[in-house]
Structure 1
Amino acid sequence: MRKAAFIAVILGTASIVTTGAVLAKGGPGGQGPRMSFEEIDADGNGEVTQAEMDAMKAARFAASDTDGDGVLSLEELTAQGVKSVAERTEKMLAQRDTNGDGVLSPDEMTNSRRAGKMLERFDTDGNGSISKEEFEEASNRMRQRGKGQHRPGQKPGTETEQN
């Protein structure tokens, strides 16, 4: 239990820091937080205009700008980050708490489609271990995906699987 709690704290802290940076840039890839088509299509006509996208972006910014001064302070970014982390951790608990006890065991923390696949993905020569070179290559691939590039075979515009 202690190990799972420790991991959750580390993940939460990392998410807070990351969320602040993401909000400052306007979201992943500079595109802002993910939202549904229906949220953006304010007039409900089945088409999204630039004006509707700009309005949604302005509304999200205004919601984070709690003092209304037109800029986001460290405190406002942190508050938004804490809110985002809380929402993500609630979702993670709901998804992974397979026995419904309200807490995550170490087994439930690794209970995902991607668990155990890191070695497979990183071990490009198939020898059952990851060399420093393989690790660095995989890290570079992940960084490139963070810059808008996609996995081999993944079509542009499709979401990358998140854990």
Structure 2
Amino acid sequence: MFISAPVARDLIVGSIAFAVSLSTQAGAQTAPQGRDAITRADIQKRLEARFDALDTNKDGVISADERKANSEKSRARMFARIDKDGNGSISREEFSAQRRGPARRGMGGQAMTGRSANASMSKADFVNRRLAMFDRVDTNHDGIISPEERGAVRGKMRQHRGAGAPPAPASGG
């Protein structure tokens, strides 16, 4: 099965990274299939909470300024995590020791939203776009992403990427 570059990018950036990060967090795991499964209802609840945290001025939309501020905070946290000795710079050893993996964008990035970085996003758009990613991974449509479904998507993405080849550019732009 072939996956187009835009769909592949959505799957890897959104579905896998997001589902994996949420399913491995401790706490309110309600999936009947165990700790490694995650429900759509749980994802929706967490997305709504995430939106509320990103909407710092509580006007019901995430603006470009709010997205930028969140991105800056995320970069600072990532830098601090890699800078193990806390000296304000990242050595070759610190850089090499970091976890390797696909580039990930923040929750408000264009890769995940399909929108301009300057566009505002309502709570409904924020939640529904990400739930659509969940639905693409939930291949049996039971409202649960099982470890097998996550593994299948990972396998498709590895196959699509090939031997470290960068993803093809999106068409139409």
Higher RCO (Cα < 8 Å, 6 or more apart): 2
Q: Same fold (TM over 0.5)?
A: no
TM (norm. structure 1) is 0.41
TM (norm. structure 2) is 0.39
